[in-house]
Amino acid sequence: MPSASDRIRGPGLTAALKVIGILALAAAALSFPAFAANPFILSVGVVIMSYAVLATGWNFVGGFTGYMSLGHAAYSGLGGYATALLIIESGINPWLALVLGALITALIAVPVGIASLRVRGASFVIVSIAFVLILQLVFQSWGEFTGGSNGLRVPRPFGPDVLRPEQHERFFYLHVAVLAIALLAWWLIDRSRFGIGLKAIREDEDKAQALGIPTFTYKLVAFVLSAFFTAVGGGLYALWFGFLDPIFQFSILIGSYMVLMSLLGGIRSLFGPLLGALVVGYSVEFFKNEYGDTQFHLVATGLLLGLVVLFMPDGVIPALAALRRRFRPQESSIREVSQAELAEQRDSAPAREGAKR
């Protein structure tokens, strides 16, 4: 039978293990550029971190409210183009353009959220897809401003003197920093009253509204936050890659990757999108490198999505947590009582009986 000290030690040990795991994860991420074998491996690391930022940004709305948006590439694409056009047209500092581009995208997301969040389920998915397709047509047709089908070349922020390996290394650390900020924001919301309201919406929106939660306002705030962080990810990608193509930037496939990565790791978990980005990002880059211009990576992605939905609908991290709970020793609900407590209860029994009479 576990003692009181064992019960106290259990949660403390779990918290300590979580802290150690987070520190180990941070150390592994920060040391990756030093151990990358060549610039190509380092560039793959940048792509994976970019996917992690996008998936974490998507998880603000998908994980908290349960609204599945397949068109979130609209906000990563808007963030990328807004950053690039601010640099080209106004000549402002690239990092200031990155922040302003994300804020502009968040402002655009307000009326879009007001219109789209009035519907649920499949209707919301259709609206999200329609929005990204509209943006793809607009940016492809507006050649005088966006470059159209010819694409848009984005000035590199570090100048021509910085070689490509150094560019990859710097952008890898920048993506890690943005990811850390997004994860911290998600963690703070998850433990706040606002986060409790969002999770109530996710579980049963009608009941949450009946309990007095301002469901539409909460959903809209989460939607705008999601658009902001996704736009930051898109802007960082534009600065790193140096070229924007509307067909790719506003692709439903990018939004599908965000959903798949979050579902794979676990949308209700802090590090779920990061784990999904590691698996999906590496897999996509591997298949592209091995099979060239074929569409085999799309087939593999579709199969992976099907397997996740069938066998791990809550994601890898929740599945592993459930497995750990299943096999760990169960604590007894019977509390140990000392001899002194028994004597105190025996002495106080006559007094309670007298009070009842």
Percent of the chain scored above 90 by pLDDT?
Answer: 54
- Please report the sign of the dihedral spanned by the C-alpha atoms of residue 190, residue 203, residue 103, residue 125: positive
Domain count, the chain: 1
Look at residue 7 and tell me if it is in a domain: no
81 falls within a domain: yes
Least-confidence region, from 5-19, 26-40, 211-225, 245-259: 5-19
Whether 311 is covered by a domain: the verdict is no
Is there a domain that residue 32 lies in? no
pTM for the predicted model, two decimal places = 0.84
Query: Considering only CA atoms, which of 125, 258, 234 is closest in space to residue 175?
Result: 234
- Spell out the alpha helix ranges (H) of the chain: 4-35, 39-65, 73-90, 94-116, 121-141, 143-146, 164-190, 193-203, 205-210, 215-241, 246-249, 252-265, 272-291, 296-311, 316-327, 339-356
Cβ atoms of residues 83 and 238 within 8 Å: yes
Could you tell me the residue range of the domain that residue 211 belongs to? 46-252
In a domain? residue 18: no
Residue pLDDT, tens place only, 48-107: 999 999 999 999 999 999 999 999 999 999 999 999 999 999 989 999 999 999 999 999
Rounded average pLDDT over 15-23: 75
CA distances, 288 to each of 46, 246, 262 (Å): 16, 20, 21
Which is it for strands 243-244 and 152-153: parallel, antiparallel or unpaired? antiparallel
From residue 251, how far is each of 77, 130, 341 by CA, in Å? 9, 11, 68
Residue 33 lies in a domain: no
Residue 342 resides in a domain: no
Q: What is the per-residue pLDDT across 25-35, written as a single tens digit (0 to 9) for each?
A: 888 888 888 88
Whether residue 352 is predicted with pLDDT greater than 70 in this model: the reply is no
- CB contact at 8 A, 15 and 346: no
The predicted model gives 146-155 an average pLDDT of 90
Tell me: pLDDT of 10 over 60.
Answer: no
**pLDDT tens per residue across span 289-334:** 777 667 777 777 778 777 777 877 777 787 777 777 777 655 544 4
In a domain, 159, yes or no: yes
pLDDT of res. 218: 96
Q: In this predicted structure, which of 17-21, 92-96, 200-204, 219-223 has the lowest mean pLDDT? A: 17-21
**Cα gap 50→29, rounded to integer Å:** 13
Round the average pLDDT of the chain to a whole number and report it: 85
**The pLDDT of residue 270 is above 70:** yes
Q: Which has the closest alpha carbon to 85: 170, 142, 47? A: 142
Asked whether residue 46 carries a pLDDT value surpassing 80, the answer given is: yes
Using pLDDT thresholds of 50, 70 and 90, give the confidence band for residue 163: confident
